[in-house]
Amino acid sequence: MAEANQLFNDRAARRIAVISMHTSPTASLGQNANGGLNVYVREVATGLSDRGIATDVFTVRQSPDEPTVELVAPLSRVIYLPAGKGLDKYLLYSEVPSFARRIVEFADRDGVAYDLLFSHYWLSGEVACLLRPRLAASWAHVAHTLGLVKNRTLAVGARPEPQLRIRVEGEIAQQADLLIASTEDESADLVNLYGADPDRVFVVPPGVDLTMFQPIDRGEARRKIGYGPDRLLLYVGRLERLKGVDVAIRALALLRDRKHDDVRLLILGEDSAEGDESEKSRLKAVASAAGVRDRVDFLGSVAHHELPFFYSAADVTVMPSYSESFGLVGLEAQACGRPVVGSDVTGLRSVIRDDVSGYLIDGHDPAAYAERLGRLLDDPELAQQMGRRGRLLAQRFSWTRTADRLQLLFGRFAERAQVRVHASARQE
């Protein structure tokens, strides 16, 4: 192991400590807290590895079967550290100091010096706040979601984000050297809601794997996932009130009332770890009450590489979210040549063009969703046209572009940090 670590260290031009405390880039998607953040961390680490930049991704060990260190790219390792297994993210906050200490212990044992801390989500940002400047002189942070933004548009019955999170996000916004936003709207929220210095906020859109997510013949895709000629609607993501899946179920009921009896809704994803109530159980009850339980299939989480078959098999992907920092699912669906019907919220507006590659709906009225979904189901040519346009739009978003932009920003801020360190040393 020591020889392998030395080889890993010697090959890197720059080294970054990536902190993803509550969720791992190797975890299965669509369950617990796992989703777009996992994809982001994995794809960026791989892209930076391709550019000669090493990343150590520190995350919480969730299973005794997980190794201590796992190589996910030639210059990217995931390091699994013990810290509050099975705790939700709010209880996990109490483990932040011990998690930060274990990162330092690992770096000391491994003899690694980092040029930059790169934290993801508010919990990891708190870890980075404790580690800088001891572990690295410079710190970049991605919020992925913001508590104040989520609280502006809560679903009925959803638990608001607590003041603890809001306070920590405010501290991060003030202290991080570099704040990376996924959209212009998120950039404005960091400045206007959290008082971040606009000179430290940069927009770097995430991407989509265009080699994996591309159109597949619909017949082939349906055979692969085990479905026949029924028209299919698709939801992909964690099951939590924020995602508005009940809106899609009620829209399906309205479609059935309008004689769309052959339409099914496929739901890919599992319950999030938040709260005591099972969202899947609640959604099943919603489907039963709406009279469409026999037309709603809860398929659980699937491997990421299997998603293109589901997107390509579906007629439409539906995203009735109350909040999205970035519409990765919508981007993946469009890359597979399928239209998207989603809510007119920040993250979806950045990747879906209303009346071009799908429809964006103001509010969460199931009737509005049913009308747009029915329009696409009844006009396959229109759906195909929107799918083709969506495929073209998706070409603008690639992980290669994301990694290139991050490499440029990280290099610039790492150099500034070194100048500060040398200047401080001269003064002493």
pLDDT exceeds cutoff 80 at 64: no
Confidence of residue 272 (pLDDT cuts 50, 70, 90): confident
pLDDT-based confidence at 276, cuts 50/70/90?
A: low
CB atoms within 10 A of CB 52: 13
CA 284, distance to chain mean position in Å, is 25
Query: Taken in order 385, 353, 240, 216, is the CA torsion positive or negative?
Result: positive
> What digits encode the pLDDT tens for the residues 133-165?
889 989 999 999 999 999 998 888 888 999 999
Residue 117's H or E segment, with its range, is strand 116-120
pLDDT at position 395, please? 94
Residue 27, classed as helix, strand or coil, is coil
- Residue 292 is encoded by which pair of tokens? 């469409």
Does the pLDDT at position 10 exceed 80?
no
Give the start-to-end residue ranges of the domains of the chain.
2-207+398-427, 218-394
Question: Residue 6: which H helix or E strand, with range?
Answer: helix 2-10
Of 84-93, 365-374, 382-391, 399-408, the least confident:
84-93
Whether the pLDDT of residue 87 is over 80: the answer is: no
**How large is the average pLDDT for residues 199-206?**
96
pLDDT of the residue at 21: 93
pLDDT at 5 over 80: no
Per-residue pLDDT band at 417 (split at 50, 70, 90): low
Phi and psi torsions of 27, nearest 5°: -75, 155
pLDDT at 274 > cutoff 70: no
- Check residues 137 and 202 and name the one with the higher pLDDT: 202
The whole-number average pLDDT for the span 402-424 is 76
Q: What percent of the chain has pLDDT over 70?
A: 89
pLDDT at 418: 60
- Write down the mean pLDDT value for the chain: 90
CB 232 within 8 Å of CB 313: yes
pLDDT category, 251, cuts 50, 70, 90? very high
Mean pLDDT of 310-316: 98
Average pLDDT over residues 398-417: 88
Q: What is the mean pLDDT of residues 58-87?
A: 85
Summarize the confidence of residues 323-333 as an average pLDDT. 93
Average confidence (pLDDT) over 286-300: 97
What is the band of 91 on the pLDDT scale with cuts at 50, 70, 90?
Answer: confident
Q: What is the model's pLDDT at position 92?
A: 87
pLDDT of residue 275: 55
Q: Residue 413 in 3-state DSSP?
A: helix
Express as a percent the part of the chain with pLDDT over 90: 75
Q: How confident is the model at residue 420 (pLDDT cuts 50, 70, 90)?
A: low
Whose CA is closest to 233, among 194, 189, 264? 264
Band the pLDDT of 259: cuts 50, 70, 90.
confident
Q: What are the C-alpha distances in Å from 229 to residues 168, 218, 250, 263, 276?
A: 50, 10, 22, 10, 38
Q: Which CATH architecture has domain 2-207+398-427?
A: 3-Layer(aba) Sandwich (3.40)
List the structure tokens of 318. 């539906």
Tell me: the pLDDT tens digits for 377-401?
999 999 999 999 999 999 999 999 9
309 SS3 class: helix
Taking residues 174-178, what's their average pLDDT? 96
User: In a 3-state reduction of DSSP, which class is residue 234?
Assistant: strand
Name the CATH superfamily for 218-394.
Answer: Glycogen Phosphorylase B; (3.40.50.2000)
273-310 b/e with 16+ CB inside 10 Å = b? bbeeeebbebbbebbeebebeebbebbebbebeebbbb
Predicted confidence (pLDDT) per residue in 15-52, tens digit: 999 999 988 888 765 444 456 888 999 999 999 999 99
Q: Are 2-207+398-427 and 218-394 equal in CATH topology?
A: yes
Chain-centroid distance of CA 312 in Å reads 21
- In contact, 247 and 210? CB cutoff 8 Å: no
Mean pLDDT of 87-92: 78
Surface-to-core class of residue 21, CB atoms within 10 Å of its CB (0-12 exposed, 13-18 middle, 19+ buried): buried
Strand order in the sheet with 263-268: 296-300, 263-268, 231-236, 316-319, 340-343, 358-361
C-alpha–C-alpha distance, residues 256 and 375, integer Å:
14
